[in-house]
Amino acid sequence: MKKRENQEKTTGRKRLIIPLIIVFFILGSFVFFIARRISTEMSQSAIGNLSESLELLKGTVEVLFQREAQYQKLIAEELAIIEDPEEFILSYDRNSTLVKMSLVFSGETEGISNTGEVFYPKELDFSSQERVEGIPISSSYINSMGTWAYTMKCPVTKNGREIAELYVEYIYDSFDKALPDRLYNGSATLYIMDGQTERFLLKPKGIGERDAGHLNLQDFYRANNILEESIQQSVAESMKQDGNMMFYHKIQNKDSLIYMWAVNDGSVYLIGYVPVESIQREGNAVNQNILIVVLVMLVAFFMCCAVFFFYERQQNKFRQEREAEREFHNQQLGEALQAAQVANSSKTTFLSNMSHDIRTPMNAILGFTTLLARDADNPIKVREYTKKLTASGQHLLSLINDVLDVSKIESGKAVLTIGEFRLNSVISSVDAIIRPAARDRGQSFEIQVTGIRHECLVGDETRLNQILINLLSNAVKYTQEGGNIWFRIFGLEQRSSQYEHIRIEVEDNGFGMTPEYLEVIFDAFTRAENSTTNKVQGTGLGMAITKNIVELMGGTIEVASEVNKGTIFTVDLELRISEQEEDAKFWKNHGVTRILAVDDDGDVCEGIQALMEDTEACVDVRLSGEEAVRAVETTLEAQAPYDLVLLDWRMPGLNGIETARRIREVMGERILILLLTAYDWDEIDAEALAAGIDGFLAKPFFVSALKEKILELKTRGEEQAWAGGALTLEGQHFLVVEDNEINSEILEELLDIEGADCEVVVNGELAVERFAKANPSEFDAILMDVQMPVMNGYEATKRIRAMEREDAAIIPIIAMTANAFAEDVKDAINAGMNAHVAKPVDMEMLKRTIKDLQKRG
Amino acid sequence: MKGYFKKRLVLFLTGVLLVGMTACGKKDEGMVNLVEDDIQEKKVVNMFGPMEKSSPEADNVARSSHELTVIMAEEELGLSVEYRTYTAETYKDKTYDDVTLARARSDMDDVYLLNPDTIQILGSEGKLVDLSCLESSANLRDVVRVSNTVDGKLVAIPQEVVVYGLFVNQDMFEDYHLELPNTPEEFLECCRVFKENGIETPVGANRWWLENFVFALAYADLYNGENTEAEIAALNNGEAKYSDYMREGFEFVKTLIDMGYVDAERAYTYEAIEGEGPDFREQKTPIVMAYWGAANADIAYGKPEFNLQVIGFPSHRGQMPVVSMSGYGVCANAEHLEDTLAVMDIILSDEALQVYAETNKVISPSKNVEVECIDALKPLNDLVNDGVYVLGSNASMKLEQWGNTCVVVRELLNGASVEECLEEMDRLQEGTLGE
């Protein structure tokens, strides 16, 4: 359709262009014809003008000749009547025209001149027979003054008889003043040429006038490159007939008009040239103006065309843009509709699944509650039912948490809580959760950490934990009993010195996944397998959450899987390296400056040395227990004993426990011995302690883990004391602010179990009133719900903190709310609360929080 | 976008309208006389000089250089220099010198370009102004001042020091394994070899410049010896004869004529360069004589297709350049004397002479102006710089040298014997003593 429109447009333009060209052609021809006609007419007119000018000049020169002749006749008449003509001649003074006057009496060959010289008439050439006013005129010659001259001969007659001849010499220079100085504004040249000898008698003056071409006609031809014989022939013929001549020729590369004008019947000629452009100035000016007008009109026309086409093009562009926009909107609307339909369908499916998943534990809860009511007197069954109730409750809670997480991430409200953390602590916490689960299913769980250069990093530790636990718990879930799970962390090449680039791999040899499921594994609200047929319990949202968190962290996650062979998840992350300086004095302060690492695997030894490189402690390595014992003995003798020994458990020859025993024999209690193992140490705990091992350190080795262990060992006594009797709420009195009666009842009971009591108010306003009336130190803390009628928890906290009571500012206020996101924690702190404990209430967590706050004072 | 475009269009159209209205507008000038008044008398200086006869295509560097200096004067003084020219069409016509003398005596022009003989003649007749009054005259080299001083008056000043030399085709000399000649004997030997090898006329000559051979042989000792002033004094008071000095020179030229090394018949009719020049340029003649500037000028021997060298004339003292002075003389009764002297002061100033010398690559008459010469002229330039030269014209000699010797040599070309020529020289010397 569009193509056809374009074709039509192009054809339309072509149809427009052809008549335009024709019109232009006709107009152009017309203008050309007019210009040419003007040019021709002006040229003819210019030639006419030039001819008239030359005629005028000719007339002037001829008049000069005639006047001279007439004057000479008058003198001759005068001479005829005076008594002493010789005296008259001698008394004559020359002037600028008449320079010499001579008289030769009839019958004599010489005469006298006014100059006093003897005059010889034979020296003059009158052979040309040229006459002026009837008296002969000689050929031109250079006179005694060194200038071109001519002489006219006039008879002196007395009484009808010729008694003498009067010779008067005139110079051509006298014509100079009568001729125009600047013919055609000085662009024309003008010579006077002798008709007989063809010599130039009067020439232009000024700079450049000494150039060639001023000598005679041939020199003129040569200098001006007029070499065509036909022209020279025509000129010669014209001169024979004493005629005028005018012709075009190039002179000094300019089209010029050359003229030769016969004066006094060809005795002399006016000769010269004028550039055509000079005589056609008016014509050229008219043509130039016509050209300018035409050009201006053309420019105006083309500008109009340009404006028209530009406007049309703009309109087309706007139209196309509007169409494109409309299409885009339609497409967007279509996509939105499709997405809405998909979302609707997904949500319907999801709700169906959720309904199932929620109903299942709820069914268990309600069922066991019924059973609990029935078997309330049987403690064994009560314990069993409560255990199962707890499990169902936990599952229901995790389901709700996942749903909330997904919805939050999807809506873009999720934010990372950035803080410093140690990779070691992440791995330890993950290990603590996953290893028991794997052990329960008889699965092996191996952790490998290689190439990590910095273990203290900056990021959201909780979210990272969440990623790892999701991946690893899935691995445990979807791997058959007795299967293998590998958890690997690699340090990749750093892209920036400020970031640690790590790769996390979680691999199993479990059930694997179909390619179809792999395509949707990370989709939210989508499950590859209907949960009704799924043997494994779960919300089906874990991977969507995981992917979203990874992307939130700027990382990538990939999965490869094959049914019945296993699955591998690969997560690439870049985490900023912490700028916090290590405690450089740690090792010295804790008396650990020499360490012996013992492992039959050389790579492990090298890894330990590499990680400890930046510390003040010196690390020696040995590859067997025997070597280790020898090394301990040697250093002891050298009075430079080791302060700490890291022993691998399983080694050929002496194993770790045996080696520890030998070392204790040598060193006694002066040395710390830690067993480094990737295995669960519960089974060897007793044996190891008996052998003198101070503690266990999980592989892989981390410096921070070692430091923590050292700290733990050094402060074990205090910890035990604190952990033993301190975590109790015995005798404390709390103000509980909770609008939900069941929740407040449960909390009351739980606190009662802990030996504490509480007073419950049902909204914030009442809480504020109650606290205002309370005696100082009446309450040890306030446990504040957030969402309540009348006044919420934040507002109530602000009011309490604003009171002028001394304890208003310091009484611990702990938020207890189902709003469990990081932003909720922030809001609580901003409102003036001291801590946040999420519902459902974990009493251990609550106790630890209260104690911690009280300890801080 | 549309608004922007419209604004631009309106502005453009308004501009076009304004331009159109301005162009069509007519200023009301009231009543004025529309006839251009060109009667106002313009200041002119009439200069008489020779006219070009060579090819119009060729670039005459010397004249171009001169015109550059004249333009300087015209621009500075607000006048125009008008040229009146003459050049003999054939040898039968009056010579340029004849016409110059006639015109100067008739006070026809304001300033003349004069040859050495006419300088001396007109100077001694009192027809030329003493140019010592010009500021620029203070910068002249001594050789220029001496050559142009007649009766204690500096009557002419040139724009270049004219040095004559032999222009030789070095390629042809090398073809015949000939060294460049230093002495008359070596020169004759070279001519013999050329002649025997089919070079019809080894020496291209014209009716003006053969006299340089005579000067070189006559005055090599006089000008390069210890007693120059005394010898000139002896010549001036008749104790010594010019003919004695010139005998060897005339005999040498006669030998050249007799041996056919110079074509006397043609030389007698040839104008300078115009006659013998074409054969030299076409490498038919290996030797010609000419002035310094001819080596630079396209109209003469500039940019030849062979290796050109300019050397001195042969003498017993080795190669000898002949220095001759032409110069500008101002008519004592000039119609525009004041303006003429002003023009002279400018065209002979150091600034103008620098322009002239740089354009024309010649030796400047001003001691303050030095320019590098072309390679071909270096042999001649070295000699002049070493003070090795003879003068072809010397106003301190009572007998005018340049013109008279030229006329006598022309007689030699016309068939006169050496003795007749020397007798003529004696007669001329006696004439000067009589005066």
Residues of A within 8 A of B83 (CB-CB) are: 205-207, 209-210
In this complex, which of A182, A209, A215 lies closest to B89 when CB atoms are compared? A215
Interface check for B333 against chain A (CB to CB < 8 A): the answer is: no
Peptide bond into A700 cis (omega under 30): yes
What is the Cα–Cα distance from A60 to A78, expressed in whole angstroms? 27
**Backbone CA torsion sign across A104, A109, A111, A115:** positive
Instruction: With a cut of 90, say whether residue A345 has pLDDT above it.
Output: no
Q: Quick one: average pLDDT of B195-200?
A: 93
For residue B13, what is the nearest residue in chain A, using CA coordinates? Answer: A300
CA distance A248 to chain B (A): 20
Fold of A20-167: Beta-Lactamase (3.30.450)
The predicted-structure confidence for A23-61, as pLDDT tens digits, reads as follows 888 888 888 888 788 778 877 888 888 888 889 889 988
For A256-290, b where at least 16 C-beta lie within 10 A, e where not — what string?
A: bbbbbbbbbebbbbbbbbbbbebbbeebbebbeee
In this predicted structure, what is the pLDDT of residue B26? 53
- Asked if B53's CB is within 8 angstroms of A211's CB, the reply is no
CA distance A125 to chain B (A): 15
In this complex, which of B53, B89, B108 lies closest to A147 when CB atoms are compared? B108
CA distance A250 to chain B (A): 14
CA distance B71 to chain A (A): 8
Domain boundaries, chain A: 20-167, 180-279, 415-577, 586-714, 733-856
β-pair type (A161-171, A98-105): antiparallel
DSSP 8-state secondary structure symbol assigned to residue A172? G
Are B44-161+325-366 and B163-323+395-434 the same fold in CATH?
yes
The predicted-structure confidence for A648-689, as pLDDT tens digits, reads as follows 888 888 888 888 888 888 887 778 888 888 776 777 778 888
Percent of chain A clearing pLDDT 90 (strictly above):
14
What is the Cα–Cα distance from A485 to A632, expressed in whole angstroms? 38
The predicted-structure confidence for B288-302, as pLDDT tens digits, reads as follows 999 888 887 777 888
Interface check for B107 against chain A (CB to CB < 8 A): the answer is: no
For residue B3, what is the nearest residue in chain A, using CA coordinates? Answer: A311
H or E stretch at A192: strand A191-194
- Asked if B101's CB is within 8 angstroms of A146's CB, the reply is yes
Specify the higher pLDDT residue, A827 or A345.
A827
CA A168 distance to own-chain centroid: 98
- Asked if A142's CB is within 8 angstroms of B93's CB, the reply is yes
Q: What band does B28 get if pLDDT is binned at 50, 70 and 90?
A: low
Q: Which of A162-176, A365-379, A778-792, B245-259 has the highest mean pLDDT?
A: B245-259
- Asked if A210's CB is within 8 angstroms of B49's CB, the reply is yes
Beta-carbon contacts below 8 Å between A and B = 80
CATH class of A586-714: alpha beta
Peptide bond into A840 cis (omega under 30): yes
To the question of domain B163-323+395-434 being in CATH 3.40.47.10, the answer is: no
In this predicted structure, what is the pLDDT of residue A585? 66
Domain boundaries, chain B: 44-161+325-366, 163-323+395-434
To the question of domain A733-856 being in CATH 3.40.220.10, the answer is: no
* Closest of A589, A652, A595 to residue A626, by C-alpha: A652
For residue A304, what is the nearest residue in chain B, using CA coordinates? Answer: B9
Two tokens, residue A290:
């016509």
* Closest of A501, A443, A496 to residue A473, by C-alpha: A443
Instruction: With a cut of 90, say whether residue B246 has pLDDT above it.
Output: yes
The predicted-structure confidence for A753-810, as pLDDT tens digits, reads as follows 888 889 999 999 999 999 988 888 889 899 998 888 888 899 999 999 998 888 888 8
CA B119 distance to own-chain centroid: 13
Distances (CA, A) of A643 to A596, A668, A697: 8, 12, 16
- DSSP state string for A322-375: HHHHHHHHHHHHHHHHHHHHHHHHHHHHHHHHHHHHHHHHHHHHHHHHHHHHHT
In this predicted structure, what is the pLDDT of residue B4? 66
In this predicted structure, what is the pLDDT of residue A722? 45
Instruction: With a cut of 80, say whether residue B389 has pLDDT above it.
Output: yes
In this complex, which of B9, B71, B86 lies closest to A207 when CB atoms are compared? B71
The predicted-structure confidence for B117-157, as pLDDT tens digits, reads as follows 888 889 989 999 999 999 988 889 887 888 888 888 999 99
Interface test mutation site (partner A, options B43, B65, B106, max chain A beta carbons within 10 A): B106
Interface test mutation site (partner B, options A139, A192, A210, A252, max chain B beta carbons within 10 A): A210
Strand partners, A813: A782
The predicted-structure confidence for A97-151, as pLDDT tens digits, reads as follows 788 899 999 989 899 998 888 999 998 988 888 888 889 998 888 888 888 899 9
In this predicted structure, what is the pLDDT of residue A534? 45
- Asked if B67's CB is within 8 angstroms of A214's CB, the reply is no
- Asked if A145's CB is within 8 angstroms of B54's CB, the reply is no
Residues of B within 8 A of A225 (CB-CB) are: 56
Q: Quick one: average pLDDT of A806-830?
A: 82
Place of tokens 């089974």: A683
A561 CB contacts (<8 Å, ≥6 apart)? A512, A513, A518, A567, A568
H or E stretch at A103: strand A98-105
- Count of beta carbons in the 10 Å neighbourhood of residue A291: 13
Helix axes A461-477, A423-440, angle to 10 degrees: 20
3-state secondary structure of A600: coil
A301 CB contacts (<8 Å, ≥6 apart)? none
Long-range contacts of A178-183 (CB under 8 A, 24+ apart): A178/A60, A178/A61, A178/A64, A179/A57, A179/A60, A179/A61, A180/A57, A181/B38, A182/B38, A183/A53, A183/A272, A183/A274
Q: What band does B330 get if pLDDT is binned at 50, 70 and 90?
A: very high
Superfamily of domain A415-577: Histidine kinase-like ATPase, C-terminal domain (3.30.565.10)
Two tokens, residue A847:
């106790």
CA angle B147, A207, A256 (to 5 degrees): 145
Are A20-167 and A180-279 the same fold in CATH?
yes
Instruction: With a cut of 80, say whether residue B36 has pLDDT above it.
Output: no
Q: What band does A173 get if pLDDT is binned at 50, 70 and 90?
A: confident
- Asked if B85's CB is within 8 angstroms of A203's CB, the reply is yes
In this complex, which of A143, A207, A222 lies closest to B70 when CB atoms are compared? A207
For A645-670, b where at least 16 C-beta lie within 10 A, e where not — what string?
A: bbbbbebeebbbbbbbbbbbeebeee
Q: What band does A353 get if pLDDT is binned at 50, 70 and 90?
A: low
- Asked if A145's CB is within 8 angstroms of B102's CB, the reply is yes
The predicted-structure confidence for B37-91, as pLDDT tens digits, reads as follows 555 567 889 999 887 655 555 556 666 788 889 999 999 999 888 888 888 777 7
Domain A180-279 architecture:
2-Layer Sandwich (3.30)
Strands (DSSP E) along A601-641, which ranges?
Answer: 618-622
Strand partners, A646: A597, A674
Looking at every residue in chain B, the average pLDDT score rounds to 86
Could you tell me if A839 and A783 are in contact, meaning their C-beta atoms sit under 8 angstroms apart? Answer: no
Superfamily of domain B44-161+325-366: Periplasmic binding protein-like II (3.40.190.10)
Q: What band does A533 get if pLDDT is binned at 50, 70 and 90?
A: very low
H or E stretch at A505: strand A499-508
CA distance B334 to chain A (A): 15
Place of tokens 């200023």: B27
Could you tell me if A137 and A267 are in contact, meaning their C-beta atoms sit under 8 angstroms apart? Answer: yes
Looking at every residue in chain A, the average pLDDT score rounds to 82
- Count of beta carbons in the 10 Å neighbourhood of residue A305: 12
In this predicted structure, what is the pLDDT of residue B1? 52
Could you tell me if A83 and A160 are in contact, meaning their C-beta atoms sit under 8 angstroms apart? Answer: no
